[in-house]
Amino acid sequence: MNSLSESGNEGVRSGPELSVVVGERRQLINLAYRLLGSLADAEDAVQETYSRWYAMSRKQQEAIESPGAWLTTVASRVCLDVLGSARARRERYVGRWIPEPLPDRSERVVGRADDDGTGSADSADPADRITLDESVSMAFLVVLESMTPAERVAFILHDVFRYPFAEVAKIVGRSPAACRQLASSGRRRIRAERATAAPAGGPAGQAGLVRNFKEAWENKDIEALVGLLDPGAIMTADGGGMVGTVLHPVEGAEDIAAYLIHIAGKAPGLTLAERTVNGRPGLVALYGGAAVTVAAIDLTDGRVSRIWAVRNPEKLGAWT
């Protein structure tokens, strides 16, 4: 994916609004990832947005009062179109589709210059531009997947990015009242999920529980694993048909523990590393030094209640 500085439009690049326009890239990547759950799709959507900007004449660009608002509107509409087609694509997806996991930049980037937010040299990796907060936790993104495209766009724009419903209505193509209902419906879905998942102990306590889980898995201690798992725990894996994995969720502490022990026995060279996954403590399985699985983990009442194991190599680019 070419950066803006490589777009080849020398006349436009010399314009006085360049820093403003390019400076919106971080915001657009953050918006598009939350809407699409995929870094690759988010980057494509943002690139398409900038392509439309640079396709306009100088006079047309100068007539736009707020380039940032224009870019956000176009990016949201591009994402809305992508979400509509994504539903059909995911019906053909092999196994369960899980949003693409994100690493914490500080845990993986070595010797890369700090991002100054202006689209400079280090902007090649869109993962570096995502702000890791509650709205990108895997549990949050999975709930977003259950929303309709319009519901998802209205909810994210209003509740996460604080756009007024009058502006959301222009983007979604519905009335402000309809957009208010869409966002309210999305909010109810999020609240219902949060009511069933209430991690305790703060980040340190959560990290400690994940560490205990890692050690029990490494030691093939099935009793310890069962004790750390919620009785109703669910593990979902995403191999995308590209690597072997279970196609349906594994449910129950005993079955999950047995499956994990089975995997450990089949891959004796597998090592586990504690990493931040979408802003929360998680695990990365390494084989031959390469990340082969990234596990996002959700906790409820001091136990592991959900595991989302992403194995599709196309979704692990940010981890290599």
| Model confidence pLDDT, tens digit, residues 230-279 | 999 999 999 999 998 999 999 999 999 999 999 888 888 889 999 999 99
- The two three-digit tokens of residue 56, written as one number: 């306009």
Instruction: Give the Å distances, CA to CA, from 72 to 3, 174, 195, 247, 257.
Output: 18, 17, 32, 37, 45
> pLDDT averaged over the chain?
86
pLDDT range class, residue 17, cuts 50, 70, 90? low
Q: Are β-strands 229-238 and 271-277 bridged in parallel, bridged antiparallel, or unpaired?
A: unpaired
Percent of the chain with pLDDT over 70: 87
- For tokens 């657009």, name the residue: 28
Spell out the domains of the chain, with CATH numbers in brackets: 4-196 (1.20.140.160), 202-319 (3.10.450.50)
Contact of 243 with 316, CB cutoff 8 Å: no
Assess whether pLDDT exceeds 90 at residue 307. Answer: yes
What's the 3-state SS for 165-222? HHHHHHHHCCCHHHHHHHHHHHHHHHHHHHHHCCCCCHHHHHHHHHHHHHHHHHCCCH
Structure tokens at 208: 């400690």
pLDDT score of 309:
97
CB of 310 closer than 8 Å to CB of 316 = yes
Between 12 and 226, the more confident residue is: 226
Predicted TM-score (pTM) above 0.75: yes
